[in-house]
Amino acid sequence: MDIPTLKINGKDLQNLISFIYKHEQLLKEFGAVKIQPNIDCQLALKKRRKNIALCPCTETIVRINKNEPVYLAQKFDYIDNHAKQASLVTDECSFWSSLSCSSNEQRLVNTSLVPNKSFFSEKTSRLYFDIHRLPYQSLLKLGGTKVTRQFVPCVKRAFGPGAIFPMTSARQRLFSIDYHHEGGAHHWYIVPTREREILQEIIDHYKPSMCLDHGQLLIDPLILDKNHIRYHRVIQHPGELVVLSAGALAQSFTEDASWSESIAFALPSWIEEGHASVSVPRCQCNISQDFLPEIIDTSIFRPELIQRYITSHLNVTTDDESLTLKGS
């Protein structure tokens, strides 16, 4: 089943966090929602973009074992010249079947992530949507600049059809939002956070202690179906936003080359439902200490501060409809 799609007007986009908060039940149920900005929405986009010089990271996708369509992303120092890129990906079916057929070959993920880059320009009028502002509008603002300055956008580049963004989730089980700038549509598969344990058990069965969070895995939806894991699909086109719920896992592939970017943020439930403080055993991913984000101290998010934040920032009524909702 596809995740729900919400339309947003210019006014609500200016306070996107509050809009997401209003629809949090949907977000929680599906693990994600898609948001389509109306024609009246104004975005603070840079005029000159794509000036980032990039090459695809040297990661390939290999099958975990002969029988099951579960794939590992592995870094190779040497990519052999025959490493395959998917030639024609027109739909979901052709993507997974071409992957499944090429089990003995190296297949490039053909994507790159560029942290701390953005195609949104800062310091524009508040009337224009700028992704940099989201962490500051979100619950993270209670942590002051010491916390919010850690949250910067990350540009995501897909170099061609069938490029792969393996499974990840936002750091410390935060929420995140992804804006598609241009290029081929993204096919997402989203696993809500409550399915994590069972998914981990299933994956452990193929390979013990695999990490679900750091771009190590790509799982054919057949495996999810077979094991009754609840997940949702969505196809994201340029100009659309995908919002991921706290701790949701997401993987995607692209129909063609594309640019997108994402950033993390928090809603009160990140603290109130314990996502922020889940103790996670240290994974075996080879992430250098410099790139490992600090753990955010959750004791600064005291209940009375959260309540005050909700009152002053989230329960902002902008129209009659939300007034009636508030009373219900």
Q: For Zn ion, which is the closer residue by CB, 244 or 249?
A: 249
Residue from the set 285, 295, 316, 323 that interacts with Zn ion by CB under 5 A: 285
Per DSSP, the three-state class of 286 is coil
Site string for Zn ion, 288-327 (x = CB under 5 A): ----------------------------------------
Give least dist CB 41 to Zn ion, A.
36
Residue from the set 54, 224, 283, 310 that interacts with Zn ion by CB under 5 A: 283
Give least dist CB 285 to Zn ion, A.
3
Output the six-digit token pair for 72: 């590992």
Residue 171 found at the interface with Zn ion (CB under 5 A)? no
Which residue shows structure tokens 């508040």?
A: 126
Residue from the set 3, 13, 43, 211 that interacts with Zn ion by CB under 5 A: 211
Give least dist CB 262 to Zn ion, A.
18
Which region, judged by CB under 5 A, interacts with Zn ion, from 219-227, 240-248, 284-292, 313-321? 284-292
Give least dist CB 151 to Zn ion, A.
20
Residue 72 found at the interface with Zn ion (CB under 5 A)? no
Q: For Zn ion, which is the closer residue by CB, 281 or 327?
A: 281
Q: Phi and psi of 13, rounded to 5°?
A: -65, -30
Q: For Zn ion, which is the closer residue by CB, 52 or 285?
A: 285
Output the six-digit token pair for 222: 């057949």
- Strands ordered across the beta sheet of 249-254: 164-168, 249-254, 186-191, 232-236
Give least dist CB 311 to Zn ion, A.
37
Give least dist CB 241 to Zn ion, A.
26
Please, are residues 210 and 204 in contact by the beta-carbon 8 Å criterion? Answer: yes
Please, are residues 59 and 271 in contact by the beta-carbon 8 Å criterion? Answer: no
Residue 241 found at the interface with Zn ion (CB under 5 A)? no
Radius of gyration, CA atoms only, the chain:
20
Q: For Zn ion, which is the closer residue by CB, 61 or 134?
A: 61
Give the closest residue to 181 by CA, choosing from 89, 57, 54, 43: 43
Q: For residues 164 and 299, give the distance between their C-alpha atoms in angstroms, rounded to a whole number.
A: 37
Q: For residues 209 and 10, give the distance between their C-alpha atoms in angstroms, rounded to a whole number.
A: 45
Which residues inside 212-231 make contact with Zn ion, applying CB under 5 A?
A: 214
Which region, judged by CB under 5 A, interacts with Zn ion, from 95-103, 159-167, 184-192, 285-293? 285-293
Per DSSP, the three-state class of 45 is strand
Half-sphere exposure of 64 (CA within 13 A, CB side): 19
Q: For Zn ion, which is the closer residue by CB, 8 or 249?
A: 249
C-alpha dihedral sign at 176, 8, 19, 269: negative
Q: For Zn ion, which is the closer residue by CB, 87 or 209?
A: 209
Name 158's bridge partners: 111, 258
Residue 152 found at the interface with Zn ion (CB under 5 A)? no
Tell me the site size for Zn ion, rule CB under 5 A: 4
Please, are residues 37 and 190 in contact by the beta-carbon 8 Å criterion? Answer: no
The binding site for Zn ion (CB under 5 A) comprises 211, 214, 283, 285
